[in-house]
Amino acid sequence: MKYILRLTLTLLLITVVVAGLLAFVNELTAGRIDELTRQKAEQAMREVLPAQDYTPLDAALPQGVTEAYRAGDAGYVVRVAPNGFGGAIDLMVGVRADGTVNGVAVIAHSETASLGANCTREEFRAQYAGGAGPFAVGQDGGTIEALTGATVTSRAVTDGVNAALDFVREVQGT
């Protein structure tokens, strides 16, 4: 009985120490991670729709849309977070003033390496450029060629782009 109690207390102590260390490291790195994510999002905005300035929109954001900006006269930049196979996929979508997609950038994802992670490849993201949607993957009767072995991810990105387009149409009143 003493042995079990001693073992239990030892394991509890180890658990408390490790949890404390993890909390400490998280506290040290959280600010830096937030800053890097902010920088990556700003870079993605410039990538998907270059503009002199980006003005946050005051409109109510629908589910899935996390941020939206007016990109001068060029159009809009919309940040969306559709759910993929491994979790939310953080996307930035540039929508021209005429309602067509200018570009799509992946800010962050948790998709499977070498399958869903291929959503970051330019060849995949370029399929949306110039289109006004609604988009659908080939398996669903659309024109977007899904990533091999990653149909869920492909559908998620497509849903995100469609959500951005729908939001811009709502903002424009069309």
Q: Is the pLDDT of residue 118 over 80?
A: no
- The per-residue pLDDT of the chain, averaged, comes to 89
Looking at residue 117, its amino acid is A
**pLDDT 10s digits, 22-47:** 998 888 888 887 787 888 888 888 99
> Using an 8 Å Cβ cutoff, are 61 and 71 in contact?
no
Q: How far apart are CA 149 and CA 143, in angstroms?
A: 17
> Using an 8 Å Cβ cutoff, are 156 and 83 in contact?
yes
- Please count the other Cβ atoms lying within 10 Å of the Cβ belonging to residue 169: 14
Q: How far apart are CA 79 and CA 93, in angstroms?
A: 6
> Whole-structure pTM over 0.85, yes or no?
no
Query: Which is nearest to 82 in space by CA: 166, 148, 174?
Result: 166
Q: What is the pLDDT of residue 78?
A: 96
